[in-house]
Amino acid sequence: MAPDKQTIVRTNGKAPRWGMAIDLKRCVGCQSCTLACKVENGTPPGIFWMRVLEKEEGTYPVARKVFLPVRCNHCSEPPCVPVCPTGASYKRKKDNLVLINQDKCIGCRACVVACPYQVRFISEDAKGYYGDELTPYEAESYKKWQPRTVQKCTFCVDRLETGREPACVQTCPTRALVFGNLNDTESEIARLVRGRAHFQPRAELGTDPSLYYLT
Amino acid sequence: MAHEFNMDLTPQEEWSWLVAIDLFLGGLGGGLFLLYQVFGLSSAVALLSLGLVVLGGLVLLSELGHPLRAWRALLKPFSSWISRGVIFVSLFLIFGALYVAPTLEYFSWLPWGDDPTARKTIGAIAGAAALLVTLYPGFVLAASPSIPFWNSPLLPVLFFSHSLMGASGLVFLLAPVALNGAALPAIRVVGEVLIATNFALIAIYLLTLRGSGLAAREAVRRLSEGALGWTFQVGVVLVGMILPLAVVIWLPSAAAFAGICILIGALLFRYCVLKAGVYVPFAMT
């Protein structure tokens, strides 16, 4: 998703900082983003690059469920990157995405442990959902990651590079997820963050996540 | 590992026994080499210390998802403590071997064996590398902001002192081959001081972290209740420290038994520290 000329002028030529605003007032916990992510990225059983946490609050009769979609925060200061001994985890300069070069990953799990958001995963094998033999879809989609290396949300980097939004954003039926360039002051996400009460997860750690929860 | 779809306090499950064994063997090897240098123990001890570090490295390799790519872990020493650790271990193995080799009959022809300056220099580098081998695991864990129980500057100190204590336990066990003229009473005193120091450091560590937020408090609770609580209180504190201290003080003839107890406690200490690592829940902030 390359920025247009107007955006480049507005952002003073700064590289995009892709981020997501998540409207907690709109999220209904339907998990369609979770499924869209699975379909798009072909993650193996038990691994969810994106998921919606649930929690019950209050007591009967004034009780309710709250939902919190979580995924890699693509932090500006990602704690997972400096702990990586091989440079497999890195922050891409051209768009500030935190990505993994799976050919360099040795599977030491240091980044999995260092991530305060618990959104990095290691699949020990490449088993499918329906027994030992992969379905044709799994055989194709499992090419996106290697067993015994770290995997995580990439903000659907393949889609971004062809000008499309991440699958979870496109799927969300309540428009709770808004994706965009945080460095572009006129983008929808920047306006939402400016205009609405919000928090960044565990901001006290100084990670400066690119995820903003609108409250 | 699949994560739950809830917002509870969750312990890390990535690093367990294999990493604990690696940390134990690496620390033991580094600590043993330091005792070898300080007390002038026999060359067999130095060889054992090198062997322990190699064994620890092999255990760690077996834990890696892609051991054949392990050489890449040398590439990021300016940011990653694991990378620094790999370099410290490599330096230790190289310079430790160079230092010990001339003392062995088969390699007595090596030229630096007769050159006091060269041997002293090699020894200093090997000693410094051994010290860093004992310290770096604490820095690896302390670098994780996600787990408050580890995120403390005291942890490397604790790993260092535990490494020395474990090494003293191994010397007690191997006293007949290890002492090489050094006085057992002197090492016994060092062992006593190390056990007492570790006891105090662990107490300070737990007391400090009990007041460091929800996840750290949960970690301390895990070390005082349930299966991990038993492992810590009985294995690390009672068997690993109190019992050997009593034996060394009142029954010095059973020092070998105290050594076994210290080694058990030193291994379980690593395991307990790893398993007590609890994440701050994602949504409770």
pLDDT tens for A69-121 read 999 999 999 999 999 999 999 999 988 999 999 999 999 999 999 999 989 99
What does the pLDDT average to over B263-271?
Answer: 96
Question: Could you say which DSSP state residue B2 is in?
Answer: P
CA distance A67 to A50: 13
Q: Report which of B45, B212, B227 is spatially closest to residue B145, judged by C-alpha positions.
A: B212
Q: What is the pLDDT at residue B8? A: 73
Is 3.90.550.10 the CATH number for A5-214? no
Please answer yes or no on whether A85 and B283 come within 8 Å at the CB atom. no
Q: How far is CA A20 from CA A92, A154, A212, B65, in A?
A: 17, 12, 6, 31
CA distance B220 to B8: 16
Element (H, E) at A62: strand A62-71
What distance, in Å, lies between the first and last C-alpha atoms of chain A? 28
- Statement: residue A172 has pLDDT above 80: yes
Residue with more model confidence, B199 or A65: B199
Triad A203, A205, A209: Cα angle to 5° = 45
Domain ranges of chain B: 17-275
Q: What is the pLDDT at residue B1? A: 36
Q: What is the pLDDT at residue B175? A: 83
Q: Over the stretch A202-212, which tens digit does the pLDDT of each residue have?
A: 888 899 999 99
Q: What is the pLDDT at residue B116? A: 86
Q: Over the stretch B171-191, which tens digit does the pLDDT of each residue have?
A: 999 887 777 656 678 888 899
CB A49 within 8 A of CB A153: yes
Q: What is the pLDDT at residue B211? A: 78
**In this structure, is the dihedral angle defined by the CA atoms of residues A29, A30, A33 and A38, taken in order, positive or negative?**
positive
Please answer yes or no on whether B5 and A147 come within 8 Å at the CB atom. no
What does the pLDDT average to over B231-248?
Answer: 94
Q: How confident is the model at residue A9 (pLDDT cuts 50, 70, 90)?
A: low
Out of B14, B65, B82, closest to residue A85 by CB: B82
B17-275 topology per CATH: Formate dehydrogenase/DMSO reductase fold (1.20.1630)
Chain B residue numbers touching A85 (CB-CB < 8 A): 72-76, 80, 82-83, 86
What does the pLDDT average to over A49-72?
Answer: 89
CA distance A189 to A74: 15
CA distance B60 to A31: 38
Q: How many residues are given for chain A?
A: 215
Chain B residue numbers touching A105 (CB-CB < 8 A): 65-66, 69
Out of A79, A121, A148, closest to residue B1 by CB: A121
Chain B residue numbers touching A83 (CB-CB < 8 A): 79-82, 140, 143-144
Output A139-142 pairs: Cβ under 8 A, ≥24 positions apart: A140/A42, A141/A41, A141/A42, A142/A42, A142/A44
Please answer yes or no on whether A105 and B65 come within 8 Å at the CB atom. yes
Q: What is the pLDDT at residue A56? A: 82
- Statement: residue B263 has pLDDT above 70: yes
Q: What is the pLDDT at residue A149? A: 94
Domain ranges of chain A: 5-214
Q: Report which of B12, B25, B88 is spatially closest to residue B60, judged by C-alpha positions.
A: B25
CB B30 within 8 A of CB B134: yes
Q: How far is CA B235 from CA A25, A204, B228, in A?
A: 49, 36, 10
For chain B, say whether A107 makes contact (Cβ under 8 Å): yes
Separation of CA A64 from chain center: 26
0.90 surpassed by complex ipTM: no
CB A131 within 8 A of CB A138: no
For chain B, say whether A24 makes contact (Cβ under 8 Å): no
CB B33 within 8 A of CB B126: yes
Q: Over the stretch B66-91, which tens digit does the pLDDT of each residue have?
A: 999 999 999 999 999 999 999 999 99
What does the pLDDT average to over B224-243?
Answer: 93
Please answer yes or no on whether A79 and B70 come within 8 Å at the CB atom. no
Q: Over the stretch B211-223, which tens digit does the pLDDT of each residue have?
A: 778 888 889 999 9
- The residues, ordered by sequence, that sit 6+ positions from B17 with a Cβ below 8 Å of its Cβ are B271
How many helices and strands (H and E) does chain B possess?
A: 11, 0
Residue with more model confidence, A11 or B29: B29
- Minimal C-alpha gap between A26 and chain B (Å): 17
Beta bridge partners of residue A59, listed in sequence order: A62
- The residues, ordered by sequence, that sit 6+ positions from B143 with a Cβ below 8 Å of its Cβ are A82, A83, A114, B81
* Phi, psi (deg, nearest 5) at residue A180: 175, -170
CB B7 within 8 A of CB A53: yes
